[in-house]
Chains A and B, each alone.
Chain A
C-alpha cells in the first residue's frame, strides 16, 4: 500500500489511527505491528511471511548476541545475523543480476530465477542490520519484547520508502512516547506537505518524464528538459515520501530522523550527500565506511573505502549496472573534491551551485536509465551527439505546459518559501494571519491532492527497485 493512495488515506489510516488512539498504552505497539503487517500484506501478500521471518531472525540474533556478549559466540551470531539478512537481500534482489552477468561472462545460460523483489526489503534489512550490529557493539540493549522489535522493523510509516530509522533513535520511544496536540499538528502539516509534494509536483513531473521516454521527437533541449524534470521529480517524490513518513511518525508519537535538507542548494557534491537521503548516507558511514577505517588509514585504503561505500550505495538502489555506475560516479566526484576541487568551490558563490546542479542532473539521467547504453545515448543527446535537432515541437509544447510546475518545483527545492513564511510569522501584524492561513492552506492542499488521486492521475512508485 502506498501513502499517496485512497485506500491508505481514506480507509487504512483512519481505521488504524482510531484503533491506535483508543488502545491502552501497553497495546499500542501491538496495534502498530498488526496494522503494519496489514499495510505490508496489502501490497505484498506473499512476502509478509518473509518479513516476519526477518523480524524473528533479528529478534533471536539480538538476544543471542547480547547473551554471549564479549564471547566468541556473540561475534558468531552477529555474523549469522548479517549473513542471513544480506543472504535474504542477495537472493531476492540481486540473484538474477548475478546470474545475468555470469551468463554474459561465461556464455552459459543459467536460467533466471525471476523473483519479484519484495517492496521495502532494502529498508527493513538495513534496519535489522543496524539493530544487531548496535546490540553487538553494546550501543543498545537487545529488545526482549518481540512485539516492540516487530513494531520498530515493520512500522508502516517508514517501511517501504524510508527513512532508514535506527533502532537506537527510537529505542526509548518504543516504550515511552507521548501523543500531543502540538506534535500531531506538526505531523499533519508534514504529512500533507509531503502528500502534495508527491502528488502535485513529483507526479506531474513524472508524467513529463514518461512522455519523454516514449517520445519520437527528441531534441537537445527536450533531453535537458527531461533531465531537469527527473532531477526535480526524484527529489520531490523521495522527500515527499520522507515528509509523509516523518509526519505519520509524529502523529503516532515517534520522531524519525530527517532524510532531506534542501540538497539542491549544495555548494559541493560532498555537501549534496550530507543533504540527500541522509539516513542512507549516515547508515553507510556508520556501518561500512568507519568500520573499514574511514579516512584514518593510508591514502590507498581510504580510496578503497570510498569506492566500496559508493559501489554499495549505488548497488543498494537497484540491481543493475547503471546504479553501480551512478554510485561510482559520485565516488569519483567526491574524491576529486576531497583531493583538489573543494577549496576552489568554497571560494565561489554561484559557480559552485551550478557545478553541483550540472553533475547531479547528469547523475540522475544515469540513475533513471533502463540500461547503461540508454544513459549514454541520452547524455550524448543532451550535448548534441546522435544527430538530434536542437529544439523540437514537443519540447516547446511541454516546456510551456510544465513551466509553472517547474518554477514551483525549482523554488520549492530551496528554503526560500519556508524562510519567507517564518519571517512573516515573526512580524507582529502578519504573524497571526499566517497562523490563520496555515490550516486553510493545508486543507486546500489535501483536497487538491485528493482530487488528483481521484482523477486517477499518473502515480508511480519509484522505489520498486530499491
Chain B
C-alpha cells in the first residue's frame, strides 16, 4: 500500500469510527439498568442554569456518556480482555480470576468499619440481651479469598488478625469457627456467596456449637437456569455460569416462613422460584433481603428458638438449621434500625447468633 493510499484509508477509517460511534451516542435510547453490573445506570442529568454553572451537569453528563455508550457491555469486555490478556494484569477493577473462580480484591482491614460493626452489636447486646441469660454467639463467614489466595501472590485479608480483632471488640460473644468445614469448592465460581448444597457440615458444626444436634438428610434440586453471579458481570468476561442447587426434605417443606417487612406478617416461600429466575437467582434463598423473617418448624423435636443477626450468607444456610429449632428469627440490620427491634422481636431467653461475612464486617457502614 502506498503512503497516499494509507493516508486515505486512515482518514476514512477514523471518520467512520468516530462518526459512527458519535451517531450511536446521540441516537441510542438510554438504558435504566445494567443487568451485567447489577446497578442503575446514569440518566440524562438535569439541565438548569445552576447545574451548568456549578459544573454538576457536565460531571453527570460525562458519567451518562460512559453508562449509555453504544455496545457498552461489549466495550467493557474488550477492556477486560485487554487488561487480563494483553497487559497480563492480575486484576481488572479489583476483579480477578484464579483457579476458575472469579473474586474481588478486598485485602485492607478497615478498622473503623470493624469498630462500627462492634458498636452496633454492642448496642443490640446492651439494649436487648445483656439482662437475659441468653447465649450470644458470633461466627464470621470467610470470603472466597480466604481459601483462594492462601500461599499465592494474590492479596487477601490477614484473617487471623481480622477474626482476633473482631472477637476482641465483642468479647461477650462466644466465637464459632466454621472455616474448617469450608473450602473454595463450597463457593460459587462466579459469585461471592457459598453453595447451600455444600453447607450441611457447616450447619451441623454451627448448631452443635450452640448445643443443637442436626442429622437431617436432604434432596438436592437443581435450578434449570444458569446462574451468572455478581462477579461474572463485573468481570465482563464471557465465562461459563454456575448452577444453583437447593436442598429440600419433609421438614423444610412443612416449615412456615413469614416476613414482617411491611409490619404485618406475610407468608413467604423457603425458596422463591420467581426470584430464582430473576436478575439475581441467589435471592431465591429466603426471598433475598428481608429485614425481619421467621421460620417456624411445627415438627421440631424441642421448643428451642434462636435469633440470628445476619447478612445474605445466612439466607442459604439458615434453612439447614431449621430442623433443630421450633422458631428461627432472622434479622438483617442493614434494612431495619436496631433501635426498632424491641417492638418487633421477643428476645427473652433465646440464643442469639451473629453470623456475618468478613466482607460485610469490613464494609459495615450499612449496619444500622
Binding site for B on A (CB under 8 A): 1, 5-7, 9-11, 13-14, 42-43, 45-46, 181-182, 184-186, 188-189, 192, 200, 204, 216, 393-394, 396-397, 400-405, 408, 432, 435-436, 438-439, 442-443, 446-448, 450-457
Contact = CB atoms under 8 A, between A and B. Distances in A.
B79 A185 contact: no
B10 A442 contact: yes
B22 to A, nearest CB: 4
A451 B87 contact: no
Given A400-B153, A404-B87, A455-B93, A10 B65 contact: yes
Contacts of B19: 14
Interface of B: 1-11, 13-14, 17-19, 21-22, 25-26, 52-53, 55, 58, 61-63, 65-66, 69, 72, 75-76, 78-80, 82, 86-91, 93, 108, 153-155, 236
A188 B14 contact: yes
B22 A455 contact: no
Nearest to A186: B7
A393 B8 CA distance: 51
Contacts of A185: 6-8, 10-11
Contact of A5 (B62, B79, B236): B62
Given A43-B55, A448-B82, A453-B66, 17 more contacts: A5-B65, A42-B58, A45-B58, A181-B11, A182-B3, A185-B8, A186-B7, A189-B10, A192-B14, A200-B82, A400-B153, A401-B89, A435-B1, A438-B6, A454-B76, A456-B63, A457-B93
A397 B153 contact: yes
A14 B14 CA distance: 11
A403 B88 contact: yes
Contacts of B52: 45
A457 B89 CA distance: 14
B78 A6 contact: no
Contacts of B62: 5-7
Contact of B79 (A45, A216, A454): A454
Closest 5 CB pairs of A and B: A185-B7, A451-B79, A401-B90, A451-B78, A6-B65
Given A11-B25, A448-B79, A450-B75, A6 B10 contact: no
Nearest to A448: B82
Nearest to A201: B87
A447 B17 contact: yes
Nearest to A438: B6
Contact of A439 (B10, B63, B69): B10
Contact of A10 (B3, B9, B25, B87): B25
Judged by DSSP, the binding face of A is helix
21 contacts: A7-B58, A10-B18, A45-B52, A45-B55, A182-B3, A185-B8, A185-B11, A188-B10, A189-B10, A200-B87, A393-B155, A394-B155, A396-B153, A397-B154, A403-B88, A404-B87, A435-B1, A451-B79, A452-B79, A454-B66, A454-B72
B8 to A, nearest CB: 6
A448 B82 CA distance: 8
Nearest to B53: A45
Given A43-B58, A432-B1, A450 B93 contact: no
A258 B188 CA distance: 54
A403 B155 CA distance: 17
A252 B108 CA distance: 49
Given A401-B91, A448-B79, A454-B66, A7 B61 contact: yes
A439 B14 CA distance: 9
Given A6-B25, A10-B18, A14-B19, A451 B13 contact: no
Contact of A447 (B25, B69, B76, B78): B78
A402 B91 CA distance: 10
A435 B6 contact: yes
A212 to B, nearest CB: 13
A364 B226 CA distance: 51
Contacts of B89: 401-402, 404-405
Contacts of B80: 455
B55 A451 contact: no
Contact of A397 (B6, B82, B155): B155
Contacts of A408: 87
Nearest to B63: A456
Contacts of B22: 10-11, 14
A439 B255 CA distance: 66
Contacts of A1: 58
A11 B44 CA distance: 15
A435 B90 CA distance: 34
A341 to B, nearest CB: 38
Contacts of B14: 188, 192, 442-443, 446
Contacts of A394: 155
